Chains A and B, each alone.
Chain A
Amino acid sequence: MTEKTMRKSRWQTTIFLAIIIILTYLSSAITEFNIIEGIATLPKAFSWIFANLMITPETFDRLPMILETLTETILMSIAATTTAAVISLFLGLFGSNTTKVNGVLSAFARFIASVSRNIPVVAWALVLLISFGQNSVTGFLALFVGTVGFLTRAFIESIDEASKSSVEALTATGATYFQIVYKAVIPQCLPQIISWILFMIETNIRNATLIGILTGTGIGYTFDLYYKTLNYNAVALVTLCIVITVIMIELFSNYIRRVIL
């Protein structure tokens, strides 16, 4: 490295750091965030958490009710993910460059994916809540829409990556479109697809909590209820149940990923 390039790279680093510092300052100003105050509240916050978020024996009376809503939430996230995966598989096949039917459909699939992914799940949940009301279907649909967007993009990438040469080989033998997709594309991408579905189930269980708070369903609603009635012991129990569920699903899907990939 010559002296000139070193000096240049040092300049670049300095400018880069300066931009970061200016942006940090601007963000703190606009959000009225004080970093010293933020750090100062941390010990207080943690001592509060350890003092109040304790699970007492009485709260276990509420466990059946909590488990019931938790099951509802888990089933809702799984159903939203699997149904979205079916739709996304078709959109992914249309959107991918190797298996696309025509340009218009491909652009359409990518457009749907981009819009449904980038509009936040919160917005879908709030709009659906107005006419679907306070029940599982609202949460299911909100998760479904966001998941379609994400999975379509993931599937397009997996299909693009996996299957160029085998598609070419099958096209050369005169296989029909359906045969190509069914015999070459799907078997090759299936491990990837399953891995993405499992990833999305994990994500959706966390998102379902958020949506539950907004739409008044599932474990999110239970949490919100105890939170607003200042029943912090129950809040701790709900949180613990969510943590255990998420970790178990993560371990399960890590195991499956190790076997299939």
Chain B
Amino acid sequence: MEATYIRRKKDGRIHLKFGNKGERVIRGVLILLTILTIMAFIFFNYSGLELSSAITETAYNLKVMFLEPALSHFSWGDAFYQIGITLGLAFLSTILGAIIAFFLALMAAMNLSNKWLTRTVRVFVAFIRAVPTVLWVLIFAISAGLGSEAAILGMLFHSIAYLVKAFSEAFEEVDEGILEALRATGAKWWHIVTHAVLPSTFTYLMSWVFLRFEINFGVAVAMGAAAGAGGIGFELFMASGFYFDLREVGFITYAILIIAIILEIISTRLKSRFFPASKAN
């Protein structure tokens, strides 16, 4: 029995450090990541880079951006309007995503659905998640035509994937006893959903939806810049890519920062209220 508690070396000395599988894997991952990082720096494409002048220029640019923000190509009213568009894109894709995700999550939850359906929905969701949002938006922009429809459809896909995962985990935590009690009374599947699952998880679902809204705001800014979806992100892209107007870039950055921080404060409150022990992602 001793051998299972104390591992000895060949010459009988006791192993002071012996790793279990977890420790070995951690060490392996750290070594692998270090090697890949060094490789990355070796294989980087450094064309056209003059590091010292780039750093001083960027420092100067950042100074102009953050210390002298100003508007030149559009007015305060336009700025609010553009922020409104970005918030609108984020809101619509979140709310539509939440509705669709609710039904898909019912199918993906182990305790409410059969194995076959659960697996299909999960594979589908994994595929959606693997395509970056910007590619979805660009693909929809050619296939559905430019405009807010393409942007919202593209953003919708990732919102659905994210919320299906969160919702189905929430559904799986519903007390099995409640479901069993309702089944014993002869309640239909839909009755179980509306009378047991929905009431006991509703606030939880809502906080996930809000967390997704916070993420979608950032995504909407990015889509405006990279996929021409409009809103404040597009103005940001125009200001830096076409007008080279760093003061305006600074102003827009501040505007985005303020909204993002407000959203973050609300979501931190929600998180500490509804999920005391869960992770933030």
Contacts and interface: CB of A to CB of B under 8 A. Distances in A.
A46 B30 CA distance: 42
B54 A132 contact: yes
A127 B58 contact: yes
B281 A199 contact: yes
Interface size class of A (residues with CB under 8 A): 35 or more
B65 interface: yes
Nearest to A158: B279
A41 B145 CA distance: 9
Nearest to A243: B130
Interface stretch (A57-65, A92-100, A113-121, A168-176): A113-121
- Residue among A23, A38, A199 with most chain B CB within 10 A: A38
Nearest to A75: B40
Interface string B137-149: 0111011110111
A162 interface: no
B43 A75 contact: yes
Contact of A31 (B62, B218, B230): B230
Interface string B161-195: 00000000000000000000000000000000000
Given A32-B148, A130-B61, A239-B135, A122 B226 contact: yes
Given A209-B132, A242-B130, A243-B127, A72 B45 contact: yes
A220 B85 CA distance: 26
Contact of A131 (B39, B54, B127): B54
Contacts of B39: 75
A107 interface: no
Nearest to B90: A27
Interface residues of B, number: 84
Contacts of B225: 122, 126, 214
Contacts of B148: 31-33
B131 interface: yes
Nearest to A32: B148
B22 A38 contact: no
Contact of A239 (B47, B131, B246, B260): B131
Contact of B88 (A27, A45, A154): A27
Interface stretch (B4-12, B70-78, B111-119, B236-244): B236-244
A194 B92 contact: no
Nearest to A9: B199
B37 A83 contact: yes
A91 to B, nearest CB: 16
A136 interface: yes
B63 to A, nearest CB: 11
A169 to B, nearest CB: 21
Interface of A: 20, 23-24, 26-28, 30-35, 37-38, 41-42, 44-46, 48-49, 52-53, 71-72, 75-76, 78-79, 82-83, 114-115, 118-123, 126-137, 140, 153-154, 157, 190-191, 194, 197-199, 206-207, 209-210, 213-214, 217, 220, 223, 227, 232, 235, 239, 242-243, 246-247, 250, 256, 259-260
5 contacts: A24-B91, A33-B149, A38-B149, A79-B37, A119-B260
